Amino acid sequence: MFDVVTGGAGFIGSHLVDSLVARGRDVLVIDSLCAGKQVTIAGHLASGRVRILQMDLLTDGWQDSLKGAGCVYHLAADPDVRQSAMTPEPTFRNNIAATYRVLEAMRIHGILNLVFTSTSTVYGNATVIPTPENYTPLEPVSVYGGSKLACEALISAYCHSFGMKSWQFRFANIIGARSGHGVITDFVRKLKENQKELEILGDGKQTKSYLEVHECVEAMHFAMAHSKNPVNIFNIGSEDWIDVRSIADILVEEMHLPGVKYRFTGGALGWVGDVPKMQLAVDRIKGLGWKPRLGSRESVRIAVRAALEGQ
- Which pLDDT value is given to residue 80? 80
Residues 273 and 144: beta-carbon distance below 8 Å: yes
pLDDT one-digit tens code per residue, 250-268: 999 999 998 999 999 999 8
- Interval 49-66: pLDDT, tens: 999 999 999 999 999 999
Q: CATH 3.40.50.720 region(s) of the chain?
A: 2-174+210-236
Helix axis angle for 213-225 and 11-22, nearest 10°, is 50
- Strands 207-208 and 242-243, sheet pairing: antiparallel
Give the residue-averaged pLDDT of 167-175: 98
Q: Where in the chain is the domain with CATH 3.90.25.10?
A: 180-209+240-279+293-308
> 2-174+210-236: which CATH number, 3.40.50.300, 3.40.50.261, 3.40.50.720, 3.40.50.2300?
3.40.50.720
Q: Distance from CA of residue 145 to its chain's centroid?
A: 12
Q: Give CA–CA dist 118/149, Å, rounded.
A: 8
Q: What is the DSSP letter of 132?
A: P
**Class of the CATH domain delimited by 180-209+240-279+293-308:** alpha beta
Instruction: Supply the pLDDT for residue 86.
Output: 85
Percent of residues, the chain, with pLDDT higher than 70: 100
Tell me, what's the pLDDT at 197?
97
Residue 70 phi/psi, 5-degree rounding, is -85, -35
- The interaxial angle of helices 296-308 and 183-193, nearest 10 deg, is 40
Percent of the chain surpassing pLDDT 90: 92
Q: DSSP state, 280?
A: B
